[in-house]
A and B are shown apart, each in its own frame.
Chain A
Amino acid sequence: MTLAAFFFYFFAATALLAGVNVVLQKKTVNSAFSLIVCLCAVAMLYVQLDATFIAIIQIIIYAGAIMVLFLFVIMLLGRGPESLPSSLNTGYVAVPLGILLAVLIGQAAARYQSTTPAESAAPSSISAIGSELFSNYVLPFEATSILILVAVLGAVILAKKNP
């Protein structure tokens, strides 16, 4: 097994186990920390796919900013273990359905035949992303700023004391 294959399987297994742990943990805080592990493992897969910039912003924005926001809310509203009775009932239906979903998508993915050679190197540097972002995708990029402005206003209004 080559080094690249070892790293792929190691981080893929880490991501999947951490993902399962997110669902299995009873305490919300433990789920959040598991999710951080999962996000970092997926970021390492991004590094393997030559998407270093995306890997960095995955760690900074997702594992950093978003998950810290989650942890703030979890600790602000801090409750004990969640009540389980209703979740067990749905589990009997949801788990087989979810496994069926994974098998169906996985089977479709396994049958996929790539038409282009895998060796074609992607232009993945930050400058390539930046020039693409500010030439072909400048309108979505500017729309994103409006979206975030609206999200900030919405969050302030929703979380206000007496709406």
Chain B
Amino acid sequence: MIPLQHYLIVAAALFAIGTIGVLVKRNIITMFMCIELMLNAVNLTFIAFARYWGRIEGQIFVFFVMAVAAAEAAVGLAIIVAIYRNRETLNVDDANSMKW
């Protein structure tokens, strides 16, 4: 059987890739996708621990994380559409001022 550490290291690498993506990319949709990548890395950690501790709670948590991610994607993409409608850009550097 694969050691638990291998799953954790893969999850750590995925999380770091997502972090780099959020910091490097300027396109707001790509940044959003990198956030999904980070969520996914955490889900992998949950599932790995759930398997190796013989508990079901990790899978329940992943279930809730997915529900929150779905809600987040709906609201986030609506915000992106609203920003694009107001400013005609997807570059986050062009949307760095708030209304007030």
Measured in the bound complex, the distance between the Cα atoms of B78 and A151 in whole Å is 10
| A4-B14 in contact given A74-B29, A151-B75 (Cβ < 8 Å) | no
Partner of B13, one of A16, A70, A110: A16
Q: Could you say which residues of chain A place their CB within 8 Å of the CB of B24?
A: 23, 87, 90-91, 94-95
Instruction: Decide if B68 is an interface residue (CB 8 Å cutoff).
Output: yes
Return A84 CB to nearest CB of chain B, in Å: 8
Q: Contact at A129–B63, with CB atoms within 8 Å?
A: yes
Partner of A101, one of B3, B15, B63, B72: B15
Q: Contact at B7–A50, with CB atoms within 8 Å?
A: no
Partner of A116, one of B14, B25, B52, B57: B52
**Closest residue of chain B to A73, judged by CB?**
B77
Q: Restricting to B30-77, which residues have a CB under 8 Å from any CB of A?
A: 30, 32-34, 36-37, 40, 43-44, 47-48, 50-57, 59-60, 62-64, 66-75, 77
Q: Contact at B4–A144, with CB atoms within 8 Å?
A: no
Q: Contact at B62–A35, with CB atoms within 8 Å?
A: no
Return A142 CB to nearest CB of chain B, in Å: 12
Measured in the bound complex, the distance between the Cα atoms of B43 and A158 in whole Å is 29
Partner of B81, one of A15, A73, A151: A73
Q: Contact at A82–B27, with CB atoms within 8 Å?
A: yes
List 18 interface pairs A-B (beta carbons < 8 Å), by A numbering: A8-B6, A19-B14, A22-B21, A23-B25, A38-B14, A58-B43, A77-B81, A83-B91, A87-B25, A94-B24, A95-B20, A102-B17, A106-B12, A121-B54, A148-B67, A154-B75, A155-B75, A158-B78
Q: Contact at A42–B16, with CB atoms within 8 Å?
A: no
Q: Restricting to A54-106, which residues have a CB under 8 Å from any CB of B?
A: 54, 57-58, 61-62, 65-66, 69-70, 73-74, 76-77, 79, 82-83, 86-87, 90-91, 93-95, 97-99, 101-102, 105-106
Chain A 3-40 near chain B by CB (<8 Å), digits 1 or 0: 01100100010011001101100001001100100110
Q: Could you say which residues of chain A place their CB within 8 Å of the CB of B93?
A: 86
Q: Contact at B26–A106, with CB atoms within 8 Å?
A: no
| A132-B69 in contact given A23-B17, A122-B50, A155-B74 (Cβ < 8 Å) | no
Return A24 CB to nearest CB of chain B, in Å: 9
| A106-B21 in contact given A77-B84, A122-B54 (Cβ < 8 Å) | no
Q: Contact at A102–B15, with CB atoms within 8 Å?
A: yes
Q: Could you say which residues of chain A place their CB within 8 Å of the CB of B91?
A: 82-83
